[in-house]
Amino acid sequence: MSIDLLAIEKFLCTLSTEKVGPIIKKKSGTQQIYDLKTGTRAVDIVTAIDKEVEKLIWDSLRKEYPDFKFIGEESYVKGVTKITDDPTFIVDPIDGTTNFVHDFPFSCTSLGLTVNKEPVVGVIYNPHLDLLFSASKGNGIRVNGEPFDHQAKMESMSQLELNKSVVALQPGSAREGNNFLTKMKTYQSLLACDEGFVHGFRNLGSSAMTIAYIATGNLDAYWDGGCYSWDVCAGWCILREAGGTIVGANPGEWEIGVDNRSYLAVRGSANDDDGSIQKKYIEDFWKCVKGKLEYN
């Protein structure tokens, strides 16, 4: 099957800016009734608008690409929904739902496509900031439809080093158990002056926006566990097209799938043709991971 990835990217950009984005912007901060997706001891929430937007996206994609498969956050069934080699749209209708509920302007729609389980198209749109990131395999990255020169951005920055970096971290919805403790201990290790000694942490509350900001050099890395494929799929493609990479959150996990559930995303670096600077950053980061993130 021959697939025009750039045409799909353009279609997803139009869908996100003209149909999805206006709903997110209009309804942000209006949802006072919502469900807890993962139980009473978690804070992962879903609103009626999430479900409405996912249906809108699915109906639009099914009409345009009837032979493609679809995985959406709100229609996902644990143990049943699987990513196959078939062309598959992987969608988060509203990434950053907690931000959306609280009217914090970092909720977005995240639309990705995988082929052979590889993210090959990514579109992320934040309607509050009217900020659109997009990319497709081999076609580079665009911001608001204009080519983004990631190489020039990397050359304007200091070399990628752990103790000179700003790292995105999110505690996640589950606030108990080994994974929560591993996160807290790792945060401490990253901050400590005799360990990682990073410049600081940032939490945007949206994995998609976070990875997009790494691609454009506004953040250096993002470490997290508990995410799903729809949280990272679109950003994965955008980041890779900008010279960045995604590996596992746990030490030694160099090769992972989009559904790995734990991730370390790292920006590219100038003068790193052999990838050694990026590799050293990842290894230095992994030294600060205290424990192991494990998700079912």
Instruction: Please list the active-site residues.
Output: 73, 92, 94-95, 97, 231
Residue 202 near residue 168 (C-beta atoms within 8 A): yes
β-strand pairing of 69-72 with 88-95:
parallel
Residue 155 to residues 24, 133, 152, 165, 272: CA-CA distances in angstroms?
35, 21, 5, 15, 11
Give the CA-trace dihedral at 151, 153, 158, 159, to 10 degrees. -30
CA 66-68-70 angle, 5° bins: 105
Q: How many CB atoms lie within 10 A of CB 13?
A: 19
CA 98-221-294 angle, 5° bins: 70
